[in-house]
Structure 1
Amino acid sequence: MKFVLWITGLFALAVLLGLLSTLNTGYAILFVPPWRLELSFNLMILALITLVALMYGALRLIALATGLPGEVRRFQRQRKLKASRHALREAGIAFFEGRFQRAEREAQKAMDDEYAPENRALALLIAARSAGSTRDLAKRDDYLARLEALPERLQLARHMLDAELKFETQDLTGALLALEKARELSPNLTSALRLELKVRMLQRQPEAVLALTEKLLKADAMEPAQARHYRLAAYTQQLAGMVNSNEVRDWLRRIPETERRNAQLVGAVVARLILVEDFDYAATLLSEALADNDQATPELARELFQIAESLASETRLSLLKAAEGWLKGRPRDHMLLLALGRLAYAEQLWGKAQSYLEASVSIQPSLSAHAELVRLFEATGREEKVEHHYRLCLDLALEKGL
């Protein structure tokens, strides 16, 4: 339909021009001494139009001829750029496939002919990460150094990648330097805070770990359970540097109540108190923990079993008195019964010790319980019982392959 309209229009124009030419009877005189030329006015118009068209065509040809080298260069550049961006896509795919050597090769192709700074940065980042994954540290550092010449808005990615790569190779000082530069560009970047938290943990800087944990928790960048894990690790590191009981006591008073009631932390504190030979205070902490059914664990009862004979008599009697309440909530806690049996044995409460130890054995036989019963029956002169429990100890040891 469109073609028919064009043909119709052209015919109409031709008819119109024909009619106009019959109406126009004028003529034009061209005088170029010594010549004089007379021609139809219509012919002159047609000649002018033809001349203009020829001149336009000639100028277009000249322009095309002079611009041809530039067009060739532009075409070659576009072809290289297309190949470069194809290589960049291939590099990204290869990187996520775990084919790091291929990813680095493709990234190198991409950065050679790429002019956009964002794409060059992406190619260099992929190449640096791939080189780091293959432990080619010289190439890794070279790629990171080349990123420095790019615009400042692309430097945050460079510093973060630098920090991650240094952390992976345990260059903790280098990782912290990179993180400091990243913080200058983005002070509250949570990924930087998380990475710094790991670095500070490995550097055994518990105060920094606690501060970073709180910052991440307030920013909703860390789950409470994970924050508790880091706090516990930091508290354990702080404990490791304490050399006397007074330090431990002062430190405990500064810890929030919710953290102080953590069973793992209580176990670590008790272990440190045992190391500095403050057995009675360790027993006090264990008593508080064992009185809470949510906080009590078999490990804490085992700690009480270990220090039972090192305690003062008043402390042991106090623990045995409190034990009646503990057993109401956990009557079948064989480790707690074993610990109470040793406490009673240390106080020479033979009947109470026997009842606790036999209850522990009836719930779960253990070498420790049978050995305690052997000691008890030796102390009370009941040789037949001694021989019986010796035999049970032997059978249990053989069964466990000890």
Structure 2
Amino acid sequence: MIRRLLLLFVIVLAALAAALWLGSWLLAEPGYVLVIRGQREVETSLAFVLLALLLGAFLLVLLTVLAGPLWQFFTPARWSRWRRRRAGAMRLQQGLLDLAAGHWQRAEEQLRSAANQTDWPLPALLAAAVAARQRGDTTAERYWLSAAADYPRGAFPAALLGARFALADNAPGRARELLEAQRPRHGDSPVLLHLLAEACGRDGDWAAVCELMPALRRHGESEQLVRRERRAWRARMRQAAAQPGFADAAQRREALTRLWKAMPRPLRHEPPLRAQYAGYLAQFEDGAGALKVIAAEIEQRWDDGLPAVLEAIDDVPPEQLLARLEQWLKTRPGNAVLLRTAGRVALKAKLWGKARSFFEAAAEAGSETALVELARLYAALGEGERAHEMLQRQLKAQGRRLPSLPLPKGPVGS
């Protein structure tokens, strides 16, 4: 239609130009035309005859340009194509309704017909792949996906759908292959990036997930994205701590330290990640470094998950650790986690009286673990009755969380 309008515009300009040239030429020498037929004579100016001929030619061309599309619209072929498209649209509609209703076989048949009757069969092909998958026909599923990928601009949506199918089949490697092939052209697609991050995570490639985070964040921050990034960095630290091939603990510490420095700063201040890193340092014989990491964070913000890391430190004198814990207890005297940790560190220092005092205070603060620690300590000190009492208190505390159910009043005979 645009081409026809452009052609019409060119014709009008050419006619105007010819009329102007002819008018200027005739003004200089108008001339005349004499037409004789039998007894009749008609005399007129040459200018009038030429202008009439020019106007007639212009009208003829204009009628040809405008009447062409109208003529094509009323041709049988045009009506046949219209009927075919209409039938395809109706079959596509019915196929999608059957797909939504769970009639997989009928939906696939309708969508197959729709794909052959529409000028844009891509939606029908993709929906047919879904129907074939629901039927459990993997051969048909792959056929429809391949047909969709061969259609112009169909490779990307077919790859996305195929990747979703692969993830549902627990085949993250195949999903990654499909998505990576589309990444050079569609790397800014948030759907592709999220699917790729999911596939990399299931594949255990947490480094790749972390590398995708900046691109994902450009499409907006969300709680799901924050959880995914946190999970990826925690998994990366686990992999670094368990990676084979290191000769000693120092090499593992170096690998963990490099990874910690590469972590985004906001994540380094999240207590679970900080506690995990400090725990690995303590595990790999850097208790002083672990204490420094925990103390630096506690000075800025408190979290109950941080002090417990001190229980894992074995290469720092327990008296030094206990002094730090007692310092924190001055500002949080009733903190159950802090009291329990102080009791365990006191046991390492063989300060039985202090350990008992800390555990008793933790038990009063509601720590059930402290009751078990007290029972163990009392039993080791030869105070069996008090140990039994602590265990009974611990059982009673756990029993309060059990559902209310009928129980026998006393011993029941067999």
TM interval, short-chain normalised: 0.5 to 0.7
Counterpart position of 2:130? 129
CA deviation map 1:258-281 (0-9, x unaligned): 211212212432454455455554
Q: In structure 1, what is the Cα distance between the partners aligned to 2:103 and 2:145? A: 20
* Aligned CA distance change for structure 1 residues 257 and 74 (closer, same or farther; 3 Å): closer
Counterpart position of 1:241? 240
Give the superposition deviation at 1:325: 4.5
Do the aligned partners of 2:173 and 2:203 also contact (CA within 8 Å) in 1? no
Counterpart position of 1:255? 263
Do the aligned partners of 1:261 and 1:289 also contact (CA within 8 Å) in 2? yes
Q: In structure 1, what is the Cα distance between the partners aligned to 2:269 and 2:89? A: 58
Give the superposition deviation at 1:143: 0.6
CA deviation map 1:61-106 (0-9, x unaligned): xxxxxxxxx95x8777655543332120122233344544443232
> Among residues 323, 330, 335, which one is paired with 2:337 in the alignment?
335
Counterpart position of 1:347? 349
**Structural mapping, 1:11-26, within 5 Å:** none
Q: In structure 2, what is the Cα distance between the partners aligned to 1:129 and 1:173? A: 21
Give the superposition deviation at 1:128: 1.0
* Aligned CA distance change for structure 1 residues 104 and 213 (closer, same or farther; 3 Å): same
Do the aligned partners of 2:166 and 2:175 also contact (CA within 8 Å) in 1? yes
CA deviation map 1:145-165 (0-9, x unaligned): 2224422x3333223222222
Q: In structure 2, what is the Cα distance between the partners aligned to 1:291 and 1:394? A: 38
Equivalent position amino acid for 1:83 in 2: A
Do the aligned partners of 2:193 and 2:212 also contact (CA within 8 Å) in 1? yes
Q: In structure 2, what is the Cα distance between the partners aligned to 1:300 and 1:183? A: 41
Q: In structure 1, what is the Cα distance between the partners aligned to 2:316 and 2:126? A: 65
Q: In structure 2, what is the Cα distance between the partners aligned to 1:160 and 1:108? A: 21
Do the aligned partners of 2:167 and 2:199 also contact (CA within 8 Å) in 1? yes
Q: In structure 1, what is the Cα distance between the partners aligned to 2:194 and 2:163? A: 12
Q: In structure 1, what is the Cα distance between the partners aligned to 2:365 and 2:397? A: 17
TM-score normalised by structure 1 residue count:
0.68
Counterpart position of 1:36? none
Counterpart position of 1:65? none
Do the aligned partners of 1:210 and 1:230 also contact (CA within 8 Å) in 2? no
Counterpart position of 1:199? 199
Equivalent position amino acid for 1:346 in 2: K
The answer to whether residue 370 in structure 2 is matched with residue 372 in structure 1 is no
Count of aligned residue pairs for this structure pair = 316
- Which has the larger Rg? 1
* Aligned CA distance change for structure 1 residues 137 and 222 (closer, same or farther; 3 Å): farther
Counterpart secondary structure, 2:232: helix
Percent identity between the two aligned chains: 24
Point out where structure 1 has 5 or more consecutive residues left out of the alignment.
1-69
Counterpart secondary structure, 1:167: helix
Equivalent position amino acid for 1:370 in 2: L
The answer to whether residue 293 in structure 2 is matched with residue 285 in structure 1 is yes
Q: In structure 1, what is the Cα distance between the partners aligned to 2:123 and 2:175? A: 21
**Structural mapping, 1:179-190, within 5 Å:** 179-190=179-190
Q: In structure 2, what is the Cα distance between the partners aligned to 1:177 and 1:352? A: 60
**Structural mapping, 1:169-188, within 5 Å:** 169-188=169-188
Counterpart secondary structure, 1:188: coil
**Structural mapping, 1:14-163, within 5 Å:** 71=76, 79-112=83-116, 114-116=117-119, 118=120, 120-151=121-152, 153-163=153-163
Give the superposition deviation at 1:222: 3.8
Q: In structure 2, what is the Cα distance between the partners aligned to 1:352 and 1:326? A: 16
Q: In structure 1, what is the Cα distance between the partners aligned to 2:283 and 2:255? A: 13
Counterpart position of 2:323? 321
* Aligned CA distance change for structure 1 residues 148 and 209 (closer, same or farther; 3 Å): closer
Point out where structure 2 has 5 or more consecutive residues left out of the alignment.
1-74, 244-251, 403-414
CA deviation map 1:15-49 (0-9, x unaligned): xxxxxxxxxxxxxxxxxxxxxxxxxxxxxxxxxxx
Counterpart position of 2:215? 215
Counterpart secondary structure, 1:369: helix
Do the aligned partners of 2:166 and 2:172 also contact (CA within 8 Å) in 1? yes
Do the aligned partners of 1:293 and 1:329 also contact (CA within 8 Å) in 2? no
Q: In structure 2, what is the Cα distance between the partners aligned to 1:329 and 1:131? A: 65
